Amino acid sequence: MSRRQSFVGSLIQAQLDAERLKAARIRAETLAAREAERAQKAYEQAQRATEKERARLHVESQLAAASARNEQIEHEVACLESLLEGVLETDQSVHFEELKKAPQLPVFAPGPLAVEEPAPEKQTYLPPAPSFFARLLPGGKRRYQEKLRTARERFERDSAAHIERESVRKTRLAEARAEHDRRVAEIRGKVAAEHAEIDKFEKGYTSGLPDAIVDYCDLALRNGSLPESFPNTAKIAYMAESKQLVVEYDLPALEAVPEAASYKYVRAKDAIVPSARPEKELHQLYHSLIAQMTLRALHVLFVADRAGYIQSIVFNGYVDGIDKSTGQPARPCLVTVRVTRDAFERLDLKRVEPAICLRSLNAAISRSPDELVAVRPVLEFRMVDPRFVKETDVLSELDKRPNLMELTPSEFESLITNLFAKMGLETRLTRPSRDGGVDCVAYDGRPILGGKVVIQAKRYKNTVGVSAVRDLYGTMENERASKGILVTTSGYGKASYEFANGKPLELLTGSNLLFLLSEHAGIQAKIEVPEDWEDPEPYLEE
């Protein structure tokens, strides 16, 4: 083969090799492109699957949230419907010993101050004894003595420093202990003072002091568990002469009933949407809530009264809200009732329908509590304000208030008739009362609600008996009057309140009379019974 042919063959081979490399590169690029395309498609498919999974999980979470809200609403409504039932099996009495909390005393924890630092040990400072050959060397003994002296000096310095540090530690430990003991003594003293107050409270309660009875009843009402959003406050007054408790209780507002009946998830809006509770159902739930709260409070107070101080309770339930007609704050009375212990203990609260039960007790309940429509209280709390209840004044020598028990019969008659005239009645004295009181007929000029009113007022030291209330009712029927009012300087027993319940009779005690004189006639009076006072026999409590 000639050189030219060999050269041409080499060129052809090189060209073939280049074409093969190019083809291989093209195949590799094609495969890489296909692989990249497959990877991209796989990524996009995975992305779509992830988004779909994310969307599915989002929907599930929203559905779960809606379900949780529905469970919460069902729980809230169940709690509202069982407010009365939930308190019937619990002891609402105030146990004075349980009020005494054990002191929470801090533990003495001095930390490092309690750890004693080990004292330096002399043996660890001494140099090792010289060996036999070291002692043979010139100056060996002297050098050893020098090391020994240096070691002893260092040991003495460290021992002195250790003693000083320990002295400081012990001083600080003693100071920490003293501070701890001071704090413990302070806590014990505070707890002892609190226990002494509780003992004083218990002694006052067992002695029947009105203020202690009021505080006891207030604690009993607060003992029962209520939803956190509910008010749990009350104003309480105790009328010892009639063993009557007057309660002005704060009721929850309409907002205590959930406005939403249920929740559902709407995919189109991607939102949890509430379904409004029907207005009728909202009204029924709130009406039931008020009735249950009333019976609940009455039950708690009667059951907690182990000593038997309470023979009747006047309960007025108020609510704070906004008057929709004026936009101004309003505090209407939504429920009012007077009930005796005997009448209440005849009830089986586990089986009653609360609203019907209250009506059987002649309670007045707002027709539209959700609209804050008020009812007239059986007895307003301010009529038994403690300022008017006191029968004596420690500054009696300086007290210029007229004593109702020292007025002449004619003065007392004029006082009572003038009082009711100031209150808007047209009064007319009919005859002297056989017990030194007042009998008169008055007229209420208001249309529909007004009419003839029979008024009797009796100055008594002891509780007025039920026979006086029966006599008033008989007089009222004979006179064909629409209402009867009995006023006394003392009080009434449970039999009187039971007889008057449901009848157009108003029983006013001595504290009520003092309030009315102050409020309507501007007369600041007092009731102090002379030692030789004797009540008429016919009207003693039966």
Spell out the per-residue pLDDT of the chain, length 542, in tens.
Answer: 555 556 556 666 666 766 777 777 777 778 767 776 776 776 677 677 678 778 787 888 888 888 898 898 898 888 888 889 888 888 778 889 988 888 899 999 989 988 999 999 988 888 888 777 766 777 777 888 888 889 898 999 999 999 999 999 999 999 999 999 999 999 999 999 999 999 999 999 999 999 999 999 999 998 867 888 888 889 999 988 788 999 999 999 999 999 998 999 888 888 889 999 999 999 999 999 999 999 999 999 999 998 999 999 999 999 999 888 888 999 999 999 999 999 999 999 999 999 999 999 999 999 888 888 899 898 888 777 554 444 333 333 345 678 888 888 777 877 888 888 888 887 776 655 554 455 778 887 776 667 888 888 888 888 888 888 998 898 888 888 888 999 988 888 888 888 988 888 989 888 888 888 888 888 888 888 888 888 875 544 54
Residue 82 falls inside a structural domain: no
Identify whether the C-beta of residue 274 lies closer than 8 Å to the C-beta of residue 197: no
> In terms of domains, do 259 and 334 share one?
yes
Burial class (CB in 10 A: 0-12, 13-18, 19+), 81: middle
- Residue that has been written with the tokens 């050098």 in this structure: 143
Residue 137 falls inside a structural domain: yes
> In terms of domains, do 220 and 157 share one?
no
Which of 161, 180, 206 delimits the end of a domain? 206
> In terms of domains, do 233 and 380 share one?
yes
Question: What separation in angstroms does the CA of 326 have from each of 19, 321, 477?
Answer: 98, 12, 42
Residue 458 falls inside a structural domain: yes
Range of the domain at 193: 101-206
Residue 414 falls inside a structural domain: yes
> In terms of domains, do 375 and 398 share one?
no
- The DSSP 8-state label assigned to residue 391 in this structure reads S
Rounded Cα distance between 377 and 379, Å, is 5
Rounded Cα distance between 509 and 238, Å, is 12
The number of C-alpha atoms within 13 Å of 81 and in the hemisphere containing its C-beta is 11
Taking alpha carbons only, the member of 276, 273, 244, 106 closest to residue 180 is: 106
Taking alpha carbons only, the member of 507, 532, 102, 147 closest to residue 340 is: 507
> In terms of domains, do 281 and 366 share one?
yes
Question: What separation in angstroms does the CA of 134 have from each of 126, 127, 137, 146, 273?
Answer: 17, 13, 5, 14, 100
- Residue that has been written with the tokens 């529905």 in this structure: 70
Helices of type H across 207-244: 210-223
pTM value surpassing 0.75: no
Q: What b-and-e string marks burial along 478-502, b requiring 16 or more CB atoms within 10 Å of the CB?
A: eeebebbbbbbbbbbbbbbbbbbbe
> In terms of domains, do 433 and 334 share one?
no
> In terms of domains, do 434 and 497 share one?
yes
> In terms of domains, do 489 and 511 share one?
yes
Opening angle at CA 275, ends 273 and 279, nearest 5: 150
Q: State the virtual CA torsion across 166, 168, 171, 174 in degrees, nearest 10.
A: -60
> In terms of domains, do 325 and 450 share one?
no
> In terms of domains, do 363 and 222 share one?
yes
Residue 267 falls inside a structural domain: yes
> In terms of domains, do 380 and 426 share one?
no
Residue-level pLDDT at 391: 35
Q: Which CATH number characterizes residue 485's domain? A: 3.40.1350.10
Rounded Cα distance between 254 and 168, Å, is 67
Q: How many residues does the chain have?
A: 542
Residue 431 falls inside a structural domain: yes
Rounded Cα distance between 1 and 4, Å, is 8
- Residue that has been written with the tokens 């409020």 in this structure: 519
> In terms of domains, do 366 and 397 share one?
no
Q: What b-and-e string marks burial along 84-117, b requiring 16 or more CB atoms within 10 Å of the CB?
A: beebbeeebbbebeeeeeeeeeeeeeeeebeeee
Residue 87 falls inside a structural domain: no
DSSP assignment of 241-264 equals TTTEEEEEEEPP-GGGS-SEEEEE
Which of 175, 206, 237 delimits the end of a domain? 206
Rounded Cα distance between 360 and 376, Å, is 18
Q: Return phi, psi of residue 94, to 5°.
A: -95, 115
Residue 33 falls inside a structural domain: no
Residue-level pLDDT at 4: 54
Helices of type H across 224-332: 279-304
H or E element at residue 263: strand 260-266
H or E element at residue 344: helix 341-345
What residues pair up with 431 in beta bridges, in sequence order?
439
**Number of independent structural domains in the chain:** 3
- The DSSP 8-state label assigned to residue 381 in this structure reads G
Taking alpha carbons only, the member of 235, 192, 378, 231 closest to residue 319 is: 231
Which of 178, 206, 234 delimits the end of a domain? 206
